[in-house]
Amino acid sequence: REAGLPPGPPTIPLLGNLHMFPTEFVHYKFTEWARKYGGIYSLKMGPGTAVVLTDMAAVKELMDKRSGSTVDRPPMHVADLVAGGLNMVFASFLRHVQRSIARVPGACALQFVFYHNGFYTHIRRYSNSVILSVLYGKRAPRYETPETTAFFNAQHEWELVVKRGATPPVDLIPILKYVPPRWAKWKRDCAKTRKLQRDLYFGLLDETKERLRRGEENGSYMEEVLTREEEFGMDREMTGYLGGVLIEGGSDTTSTFLQSLILAMVAYPEAQRKAQEEMDRVVGEHRMPTLEDLEEMPYIRAMVLETHRFRPVAPLLIPHSTLNAEEVGVSYCVTKTYPLSRLSFKYKGFIIPQGATIFVNAWGIFHDPELYDDPESFIPDRYLLTENGMKPGVDGRNLRPTLPFGVGRRICPGIHLAQNSININAMNLVWAFNFTTELDGEGNPVKLDTFDYQKRAPRPFKCKVTPRSTEKAELIEREFLEAADTFSKVEFGISPEDKAFVAESRVRRTDG
Ligand code: HEM
């Protein structure tokens, strides 16, 4: 480790800390190291450097205030192979694409009707459907809807190619880029993923274009991007990937949050009971909640914040990297191509080299026992006691409540859509259903493991989902049937199987 870098675990020659880099649940290890080496520590990744921030003040200063310099992403050759450098999540800052995204509209959940089992996949379908409706004006009525299946297939392949160890360390040893595909399975896997993604993204784009040509707009986001492509300085490739990246960003994130919320409500029935009490007081039995009710619901708001803290969807956000060389008090206006490698960030006496990868350890902050009482438990009440949920007396002014959505200029562009979707669903779920543990063969409740996660999401778990009353079940169905007109606007071009499913779902099933 070069002199001046933040401290960190001992290194070995050539590899640095690479040999000890965890293959999964990286945030646990990063947090363990944070407790040992401090809120700012470094890891040597071969010749490169990574800096891990588990300190609120450092996150605010380096990632929010000096976002212009920490806005970049570390190189990811696999993402370039799959999306030709146009997956903006992993690409350097694409300003014009970002500008067009800044307008992703807020939308709320239209439908959340499930009666018995299958809630886990239902939630995944729901969040994919919301994003497909917003972007392309085409909803996904079933988990088996062709676009939804195609998306989850492509996503599965994508996750395999980016999995640690699936590819040689091509970002560290760039010469590996030139290995011909016949000797590199990982390259063939990338090509397969690329095809799956392109078939879906450009298929949806072409359908939207065709609809526009026929004058059958339905107000979707991509219609607007297509009409204003020139103004945004975008071409077909960029537009196609813009849509694709938004489907990726918007699908499994919202659903993961909702799955964690349900898991927490089952594991902590007392929190569920308090949320239901508040719901019954504010909304009652005879109507469904609306977003306007949230103002009157401090406990539900606290429960949403606590879910973000307890199980953040992105425990390490998405890694950033430093773009400009800069020293405290002196900003050098440099671009990536201009070599100023001797200049680096200096923060609290530590050097953060140009091009370093920066991880924001949101998990480590949210689970710090110095900041939160009993951080491993789900306790929404903590947000009623203090504004930021921290122990009384802890100065939490440096922590933005939106940290789970990222930092600086890279903050999640879907934040408003996501927050609306999360809030209305949290409210609907609490209003409508009881979530309880399943019983085992002997009638004892099956204990849930709230740490049993797979990548970001809880592993599929069993719980009983029962409507809280017959009246509520009937009301849900009535509202669903009344929303038929709204749904039909986003049912252009759905498959015959989806059409049949939709027709069947519009037949009243309850007696009300
Ligand atoms: C619970 C819901 C969500 C959470 C917690 C979440 C969280 C995040 C986080 C942590 C980042 C990385 C920010 C950073 O690098 O500092 C991010 C980026 C991103 N998110 Fe979200 N997100 C959610 C929903 C959505 C939705 C609904 C969309 C699409 C409409 C979306 C689209 C994106 C995109 C495109 C990026 C990449 C931005 C960039 O690299 O500049 N996300 N999100």
pLDDT tens per residue across span 221-275:
899 889 988 888 888 998 999 999 899 988 889 999 999 999 999 999 999 999 9
Q: Are 479 and 288 in contact (CB under 8 A)?
A: yes
Identity of residue 107: A
Q: How far is the CA of 98 from the centre of ligand 1 (A)?
A: 12
pLDDT digits (tens, 9 = 90+) for 141-154: 999 999 999 999 99
**pLDDT tens across 39-59, in order?**
999 999 888 899 999 999 999
Per-residue pLDDT band for 510 (boundaries 50, 70, 90) equals low
Q: How many angstroms separate the alpha carbon of residue 411 from the centre of ligand 1?
A: 7
| Atom 13 of ligand 1, residue of closest alpha carbon | 406
- Looking at ligand 1, which residue's alpha carbon is closest to its atom 37? 89
CA distances for 305 relative to 377, 382, 419, 501, angstroms:
13, 10, 11, 36
Q: Which pLDDT value is given to residue 76? A: 79
- C-alpha 357/C-alpha 238 separation (Å) is 25
- Cα separation, 498 vs 345, in Å, equals 54
Residue 489 amino acid letter: K
- In DSSP notation, 137-154 reads SB---STT-HHHHHHHHH
What is the pairing mode between strands 40-45 and 320-321? unpaired
Least Cα distance to 325 among 70, 101, 504, 149 occurs for 70
Label residue 432 exposed, middle or buried (CB < 10 Å: 0-12, 13-18, 19+). Answer: buried
Q: What is the ipTM of this complex?
A: 0.99
Residue 314 CA: which ligand 1 atom is closest?
A: 10
Predicted TM-score (pTM) of this structure? 0.89
What residues line ligand 1, using a CB cutoff of 6 Å?
88-89, 104, 131, 245-246, 249-250, 253-254, 257, 313-314, 317-318, 320, 404-407, 410-414, 417-418, 422
Placement of tokens 């009937």 in the chain: 474
Structure tokens at 407: 């930092």
Q: How far is the CA of 263 from the centre of ligand 1 (A)?
A: 22
Tokens matching residue 330 = 């002196």
